[in-house]
C-alpha cells in the first residue's frame, strides 16, 4: 500500500513553547485515519504543518511522496481541507464563494457543487454572513470536497451540524473514501472516530502516544464490569481492575485481563446482577489521560 502521509520526527516549536515533538505518522492510501487528543495536544499544529500553513522546526513531512513545503502547490491541488472554524469573505453568496474556490483547480466543479449542496440541503444563493453556523459549515464541507481531492483533511468537522446532517456528512465522506480518497479526521467526538475510522493516533502533549486499529483499541481486553450485590457490597479486589466506582450495592470498574479469571473470582460472591460490556472509546481514551 502506498503511504499518502508520512511524517518522520516532525517537530514544531512556537518560540520556546512546544507544538509537536517527534511526530511519526504513516497514513496509507484509502484509509480513514483518526487523530484524537485533548485541546492543545498538537492536532491542529500537525495538520497545519502538513498544509504548510506553518513551518516545521525539524523533521520531515511528506504527502503523496512529496515534501510538504517544497511541493506545496502540487500537493494542495489534491487536498481538501475543512478547518474547525469556517470563516469566509463578507458580502458573498455561497455560490460565488464556491465558484471562486473552484477557480483554483483545473477542473469543472459545477456538478459536484450542485450535488453536494443538494445532499446537504444548502441554499447556494444565500449570503454566507446571513447563514447559521451549521449552514456555514456546510459551505465549508462543499468547499473542501468540490474538486474531488485525493486527500481530505478534516479538523473537527461536525461541530455545528445537527445529527441528521452529521449522518449525511459521514455518508459523503465514506462515499469519497470508496472513490479512492484518503481521509485524515481530527476530532474530539470519539464516537465519530469509532464509527468511521480504520486506524487512530492518540496525541498527548505534542507526542503520539499510540497508533492502532480501532478494532485493536477496543479489543484491548478492557471490559466495563457492573456488579450489583445482593447484600452489602464487599471489598472486592481483582488484578486488572481500574477506574472503580462504588454506589450503594453496586460497583463498576474497568477490567483488563483474562475474562476466565474474572469469572472465577466473581463466582464466590452473591450477585443480584452482572453486566460485562465493551468499553466506549471514550473510556479507553480517558485511560490514556489518567
Partner 1 sequence: MNIYLFELKNQWKNTTGWIIIFSVLMFVLCMGVYPIFNNSLQDIVAVISKMPAEFTKAFSFDLNSMVDFGGYYEFIFAYFSLMGAVMASSISLSIFAREKKVKCTDFLLTKPISRQWIFTSKFLSGLTLIAIFNIIYMVLSCIFGIYFGKSLEEMILASSMMFLTQFFYYNLGILVAIFSKKIRSVSNTASVLGFIGFILSALYNILEIKGMRFLAPLKYFDPIQFFTTTSNEYMYMLTGIFLLILFLFVSYAKFNQEDVKAV
Which residues would be at the binding site for partner 1 (CB under 8 A)?
Answer: 44, 48, 51, 53-55, 72-77, 79, 81, 83, 85, 87-90, 100-101, 103-105, 143
**94-to-91, 105, 138 alpha-carbon distances in Å:** 10, 18, 10
In whole angstroms, the minimum distance from the beta carbon of 194 to partner 1 comes to 26
Name residue, grid cell 466506549: 280
In whole angstroms, the minimum distance from the beta carbon of 191 to partner 1 comes to 25
Burial class (CB in 10 A: 0-12, 13-18, 19+), 229: middle
In whole angstroms, the minimum distance from the beta carbon of 39 to partner 1 comes to 12
**Assigned C-alpha cell, 136:** 456555514
Nearer of residues 34 and 140 to partner 1, judged by Cβ: 140
Among candidates 32, 54, 56, which has minimal Cα distance to 187? 32
Strands, sheet with 17-28, edge to edge from the N-terminal-most edge strand:
17-28, 3-14, 58-63, 66-67
Q: State the SS3 of 8-52.
A: EEEEEEECCEEEEEEEEEEEECCCEEEEECCCCCCHHHHHHHHCC
Say if residues 88 and 136 touch (Cβ distance below 8 Å): yes
| Helix segments in the chain, DSSP class H | 43-50, 72-76, 94-102, 110-120, 133-145, 163-178, 190-196, 214-218, 259-266, 281-287
In whole angstroms, the minimum distance from the beta carbon of 148 to partner 1 comes to 14
Nearer of residues 103 and 215 to partner 1, judged by Cβ: 103
Nearer of residues 106 and 270 to partner 1, judged by Cβ: 106
Nearer of residues 6 and 155 to partner 1, judged by Cβ: 155
Nearer of residues 143 and 158 to partner 1, judged by Cβ: 143
In whole angstroms, the minimum distance from the beta carbon of 73 to partner 1 comes to 5
Nearer of residues 79 and 141 to partner 1, judged by Cβ: 79
Taking the C-alpha atoms of residue 45 and residue 177, their distance in angstroms, rounded to an integer, is 24
Nearer of residues 50 and 281 to partner 1, judged by Cβ: 50
In whole angstroms, the minimum distance from the beta carbon of 134 to partner 1 comes to 18
Taking the C-alpha atoms of residue 22 and residue 155, their distance in angstroms, rounded to an integer, is 21
In whole angstroms, the minimum distance from the beta carbon of 100 to partner 1 comes to 6
Amino acid at each position: 500500500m502506498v503511504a499518502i502521509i508520512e511524517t518522520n520526527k516532525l517537530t514544531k516549536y512556537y518560540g520556546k513553547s512546544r507544538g509537536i515533538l517527534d511526530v511519526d505518522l504513516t497514513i496509507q492510501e484509502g484509509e480513514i485515519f483518526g487523530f484524537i487528543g485533548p485541546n492543545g495536544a498538537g492536532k491542529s499544529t500537525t495538520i497545519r504543518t502538513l498544509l504548510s500553513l506553518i513551518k516545521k522546526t525539524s523533521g520531515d513531512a511528506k504527502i503523496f511522496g512529496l515534501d510538504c513545503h517544497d511541493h506545496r502547490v502540487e500537493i494542495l491541488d489534491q487536498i481538501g481541507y475543512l478547518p474547525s472554524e469556517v470563516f469566509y469573505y463578507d458580502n458573498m453568496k455561497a455560490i460565488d464563494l464556491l465558484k471562486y474556490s473552484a477557480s483554483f483547480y483545473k477542473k469543472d466543479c459545477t456538478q459536484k457543487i450542485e450535488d453536494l449542496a443538494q445532499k446537504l440541503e444548502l441554499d447556494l444563493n444565500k449570503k454566507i454572513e446571513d447563514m447559521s453556523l451549521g449552514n456555514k459549515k456546510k459551505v465549508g464541507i462543499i468547499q473542501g470536497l468540490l474538486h474531488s481531492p485525493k486527500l481530505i483533511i478534516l479538523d473537527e468537522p461536525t461541530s455545528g451540524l445537527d445529527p441528521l446532517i452529521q449522518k449525511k456528512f459521514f455518508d459523503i465522506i465514506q462515499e469519497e473514501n470508496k472513490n479512492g480518497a484518503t481521509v485524515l479526521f481530527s476530532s474530539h467526538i470519539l464516537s465519530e472516530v469509532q464509527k468511521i475510522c480504520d486506524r487512530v493516533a492518540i496525541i498527548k502533549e505534542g507526542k503520539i502516544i499510540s497508533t492502532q486499529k480501532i478494532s485493536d483499541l477496543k479489543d484491548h481486553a478492557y471490559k466495563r464490569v457492573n456488579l450489583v450485590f445482593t447484600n452489602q457490597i464487599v471489598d472486592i479486589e481483582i488484578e486488572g481492575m481500574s477506574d472503580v466506582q462504588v454506589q450503594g450495592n453496586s460497583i463498576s470498574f474497568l477490567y483488563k485481563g483474562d475474562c476466565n479469571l474474572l469469572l472465577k473470582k466473581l463466582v464466590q460472591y452473591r450477585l443480584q446482577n452482572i453486566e460485562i460490556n465493551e468499553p466506549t472509546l471514550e473510556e479507553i481514551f480517558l485511560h490514556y489521560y489518567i
